[in-house]
Amino acid sequence: MTNDGTTGTEIAELVRVVAALLSDDGGCDWNRGQTHGSLVTYLVEETAELVEAIEEGTTADRREELGDVLYQVVLHSALAERQGAFDLADVVRDVTAKTVRRHPHVFGDDEARDVDDIVRLWSAAKAREKSERTSAFDGVPGGLPALARAQKIDGRRRAAGLPADEPPRACEPGEEAAGSRSDGGSTGRPPVDDPTEGVAVDDELLLGRELARMVDVATSRGIDAERALRRAVREREARLRAVETEGRAPHQPE
């Protein structure tokens, strides 16, 4: 590790390498043929590999995967520079300024007594930056994994003080819509004002609603639903691999 100011030199060298790859004279045809859109798949993969390295890998794994994500940032910035849009310096300048703005207790005159105060100041700063938004749910990326996006939506709901969402309950076989019975009486459940009225309800949507409820439970307990599922899937994979290996092992005589 170095602490003598060489970081900028090393990043400049990476910028030079990427520029050489994109050069029209002696560069790489594959790299020159890429666009921001065509690189999304690789960005997602590299990010997922970094997450895995953080949760399950070694220090060397994390170092390698951070480098791969950094390469993606430099490459996207170089492509934008070729288009005359922006360059890596613009990206760094913008994120530095945003980080300073969102930490007024460090770089400004505000004071924070605890983590709650820090979150409040950060949220207020972000709200000022995003004042053009008309909904608490604006800005939640549509490309997030479903569990993570569901949790983000519920977190925004809680922050906005909105009531908990209760998806309309599906009818059991032989049962009428919520709030009514086939004989015209009431089931005791109030009719649901469903903004998605008219959408066909099938097994897939019903299962999705149950998963969304579980995400709400995770949010209320301060649990990252996406990470929880990753842990459970890794646990299951390890068990299945053990069974697979045991099945391939030669049987020993008793």
Q: Give residue 251's pLDDT.
A: 58
Q: Give residue 56's pLDDT.
A: 92
CA distance 99 to 107: 9
Mean pLDDT of the chain: 84
How big, in percent rounded to 5, are the helix, strand and coil portions of the chain? 60, 0, 40
Q: Give residue 153's pLDDT.
A: 87
Q: Is the pTM of this model over 0.75?
A: no
Domain boundaries, the chain: 7-87, 141-248
Q: Give residue 189's pLDDT.
A: 42
CATH architecture under which domain 7-87 falls: Orthogonal Bundle (1.10)
| Residue 142, CA distances (Å) to 9, 21, 138, 173, 238 in order | 37, 32, 10, 34, 31
The Cβ-side half-sphere exposure at 76, using a 13 Å CA radius, reads: 17
The answer to whether the beta carbons of residues 31 and 54 sit under 8 Å apart is no
The answer to whether the beta carbons of residues 91 and 74 sit under 8 Å apart is no
How many other C-beta atoms are found inside a 10 Å radius of the C-beta of residue 87?
A: 15
pLDDT band per the 50, 70, 90 thresholds, residue 161: confident
